[in-house]
A and B are shown apart, each in its own frame.
Chain A
Amino acid sequence: MSEAARESRRAGRLTASPAILLLFIWMIVPLAFTVYFSTQNYLLLDPENRGFAGLENFSYFLSSSSFLNSLVTTLELVGSVLVITVVLGVLISVLVDAKFPGQGVVRMLLISPFFIMPTVSALIWKNLLMNPVSGLFAWLFQLVGLTPINWFSDWPLLSIIIIVSWEWLPFAILIFVTSLQSMDQEQKEAAQMDGATPVSIFRYLTLPHLARPIAVVVMVEAIFLLNIFAEIFTTTSGGPGDATTNVPYLVFTQALLEFDVGTASAGGLVAVVLANLVAAALLRVFGKSLTQA
């Protein structure tokens, strides 16, 4: 090996190692603890009575009806928001792609919700819009002679889905609009000359062009949506009953409300496995789009 090549390798290793080391510790140490705690009987309020529990925590967590329920809630939440944001995102992006007066302002308005902190958007929707007595929606319903909906009691999960979709739709629009700008305009015009309808242009030119950005949006959103917490914490606290308790929220209640370290750890590991299953499934479908730069 030449002196220069050796020098380059040394420089590469020197500069990469802090990040690799830190991330390795960040990943492995807490995870190892979580694995260890998950085999323990460990209540924070009663730390004396600690002992080996085997797989008891897992069987307790997995067989509880709240787990199955939270799993279904998680998948419903992630799935609905993905469908809503991708479908509406594509339609809106195609709509605002053409040149018109104030296009720049329209785009700024469209992407703004993405920058609002989740706790703020949850509370604004809950108190100012969806409040059944004095929210704006209640007023609109009364205006047209309908009974206002009691959103968070009657449609709790739907309410959360609306709020989270509102937060993530701008992200989809942001990505799709950017991607549409790189579309081949000549091809589109040629198709128009040949008498192609807007629908067939959308179907055979626009949609295939958007395949890759759609894959990216699904991947990135899935990572964040599996972890939805603040919106639930600030609006329904998982209720009524456990109607809006997703897996992250369930683990949170086990850990910091019931102080059951063992069960919470087991639940945390289940969440890790769940996320990896979803990620693996998504990677299988969309993986190529992400790695080819």
Chain B
Amino acid sequence: MPALKQRRQIADTVRAICSWLIALLIFFPIFWMVLTSFKTELGAFSMPPEFFFKPTLENYREIMEANDYLHFAWNSLVTSGGATIVGMLVAVPAAYSFAFHPTKRTQGILTWMLSTKMLPAVGVLVPIYLMARDLGLLDTRLVLVIIFALVNLPIMVWMIYTYFRDVPRDILEAARMDGATLFQEIFRVLLPVSRGGLASTALLSLILNWNEAFWSINLTTTQASPLSALVASFSSPQGLFWAKLSAISTLACAPIVLLGWGSQKQLVRGLTFGAVK
């Protein structure tokens, strides 16, 4: 049946073209941001828009020279990295406990942990703000590290728990029979076999922390502000610095987009607590 085959081929081609069109459409705002970052400020504002132009690195140079960008990037790195480390240190032992020493209450505790994610941040904004103020922690990186770590802790515990659940129990029991201590059991056996899951958990935490804006905007001003808050400061119409805004945005998003591309498979599992495989 050559006619049917031909029809199918046409359908496949149409399908491929539609897929590409939709993908390019959805990606377009990001492409446009990157393109704008290489324009002059005048060019970024010109009408009709410039599609072909002589690219300039001027925006990037100015951002770097003003020293602003690096200061905020450092804050982003310290707060999201620090919170990820703190979170992992607390989440791994908890997930270990739930996966390998479950009790009758384990499922209930896991559900309760997830339910703390339902607590809207605004519900506790006032007391957290006042406590941070009274402890002298406003506009410090420490306060963001603590809050980011706590906010993501339930997701991290759940995610690591779903990975640990898949580790064969025999391996750990064998190690225990051989006289391994609790410490050795975790560090010599469990962590090495589940390092992929641990890496993607850390990655997800890093992504969420890096992009977080609510607490960053409300608890910091300049000293400890991460990139998400720096970008937000461009929202006031204090002159039109679209090209520079695009350059800062491109630099702020590039590492996370690259990380995301490299880890999409593992992220699905983590984001859905293993409910979709």
Q: CB within 8 Å of B: which residues of A?
A: 8-9, 11-16, 18-20, 22-23, 26-27, 29-31, 33-34, 37, 92, 95-96, 98, 100-103, 105-129, 133-134, 136, 138-139, 166, 169-171, 174-175, 178-179, 182, 212-213, 216, 220, 223, 226-227, 229-230, 233-235, 237, 247-248, 251-252, 255-256, 261, 264-265, 267-269, 271-272, 274-276, 279, 289-293
Closest A residue to B162 by beta carbon equals A293
CB distance from B154 to the nearest CB of A (A): 7
Interface check B210, CB cutoff 8 A: yes
Q: Is the interface of A mostly helix, strand, loop or mixed?
A: helix
Selected contact of B259 from candidates A111, A115, A121, CB within 8 Å: A115
Q: What are the 7 tightest A-B residue pairs by CB atom distance, in nearest-first order?
A: A12-B101, A33-B127, A19-B94, A30-B124, A16-B97, A230-B213, A100-B16
CB distance from B218 to the nearest CB of A (A): 6
Q: How far, in angstroms, from A220 to B32 measured CA to CA in the complex?
A: 29
Q: How far, in angstroms, from A139 to B271 measured CA to CA in the complex?
A: 38
Q: How far, in angstroms, from A205 to B86 measured CA to CA in the complex?
A: 44
CB distance from B229 to the nearest CB of A (A): 8
Q: Are B97 and A117 closer than 8 Å at their CB atoms? A: no
Q: A174-B268, A175-B272 are in contact. Are A117 and B47 (CB under 8 A)?
A: no
Q: A18-B94, A117-B228, A290-B273 are in contact. Are A110 and B119 (CB under 8 A)?
A: no
- Which residues 229-277 of B have a CB within 8 angstroms of A? 229, 231-232, 234-235, 240, 242, 245-246, 249, 252-253, 256-257, 259-261, 264-265, 267-268, 271-277
Q: Are A174 and B267 closer than 8 Å at their CB atoms? A: yes
Closest A residue to B149 by beta carbon equals A22
Interface CB pairs A-B, < 8 A, 23: A12-B100, A13-B97, A16-B94, A18-B93, A23-B116, A31-B119, A33-B127, A98-B12, A101-B16, A110-B22, A110-B23, A116-B257, A125-B29, A134-B45, A171-B271, A175-B276, A178-B268, A216-B272, A226-B120, A230-B217, A252-B125, A272-B119, A291-B111
Q: A22-B90, A106-B19, A134-B47 are in contact. List 7 more A-B contacts (CB 8 A).
A: A23-B116, A31-B123, A107-B264, A124-B30, A128-B36, A174-B268, A268-B124
Q: How far, in angstroms, from A279 to B213 measured CA to CA in the complex?
A: 23
Closest B residue to A178 by beta carbon equals B268
Q: A212-B275, A216-B272 are in contact. Are A34 and B93 (CB under 8 A)?
A: no
Interface check B24, CB cutoff 8 A: yes
Q: Are A279 and B118 closer than 8 Å at their CB atoms? A: yes
Q: Are A115 and B128 closer than 8 Å at their CB atoms? A: no
Selected contact of A23 from candidates B113, B165, B246, CB within 8 Å: B113
Selected contact of A118 from candidates B94, B130, B213, CB within 8 Å: B213
Q: Are A117 and B211 closer than 8 Å at their CB atoms? A: yes
Q: Are B126 and A113 closer than 8 Å at their CB atoms? A: no
Q: Are B231 and A261 closer than 8 Å at their CB atoms? A: no
Q: A23-B113, A139-B48, A268-B125 are in contact. Are A95 and B274 (CB under 8 A)?
A: no
Q: Please report the total number of B residues contacting A with Cβ < 8 Å.
A: 97
Q: How far, in angstroms, from A258 to B253 measured CA to CA in the complex?
A: 33
Q: How far, in angstroms, from A248 to B49 measured CA to CA in the complex?
A: 36
Q: Are A16 and B93 closer than 8 Å at their CB atoms? A: yes
Q: Are A229 and B214 closer than 8 Å at their CB atoms? A: yes
Q: A127-B245, A233-B232, A251-B122 are in contact. Are A11 and B182 (CB under 8 A)?
A: yes
Q: How far, in angstroms, from A184 to B246 measured CA to CA in the complex?
A: 44
List chain A residues, Cβ under 8 A from B252: 117, 120
Q: Are B33 and A124 closer than 8 Å at their CB atoms? A: yes
Q: A212-B275, A256-B218 are in contact. Are A29 and B122 (CB under 8 A)?
A: no
Q: How far, in angstroms, from A110 to B210 measured CA to CA in the complex?
A: 21
* Most chain A C-beta atoms within 10 Å of own C-beta, residue among B94, B125, B210, B240: B125
Closest B residue to A266 by beta carbon equals B126
Q: Are B96 and A15 closer than 8 Å at their CB atoms? A: yes
Closest B residue to A129 by beta carbon equals B29
List chain B residues, Cβ under 8 A from A292: 275
List chain B residues, Cβ under 8 A from A114: 260
Interface check B195, CB cutoff 8 A: no
List chain A residues, Cβ under 8 A from B102: 12
Closest B residue to A250 by beta carbon equals B122
Q: Are B264 and A255 closer than 8 Å at their CB atoms? A: no
Contact with A along B84-102 (1 / 0, CB 8 A): 0000001101101110111
Interface check B15, CB cutoff 8 A: yes
List chain A residues, Cβ under 8 A from B249: 120, 123-124
Selected contact of A234 from candidates B91, B232, B240, CB within 8 Å: B232
Interface check B1, CB cutoff 8 A: no
Q: How far, in angstroms, from A289 to B217 measured CA to CA in the complex?
A: 35
Q: Are B26 and A255 closer than 8 Å at their CB atoms? A: no
Q: Are A272 and B26 closer than 8 Å at their CB atoms? A: no
Q: Are B210 and A139 closer than 8 Å at their CB atoms? A: no
Q: Are B33 and A128 closer than 8 Å at their CB atoms? A: yes
Interface check B117, CB cutoff 8 A: yes
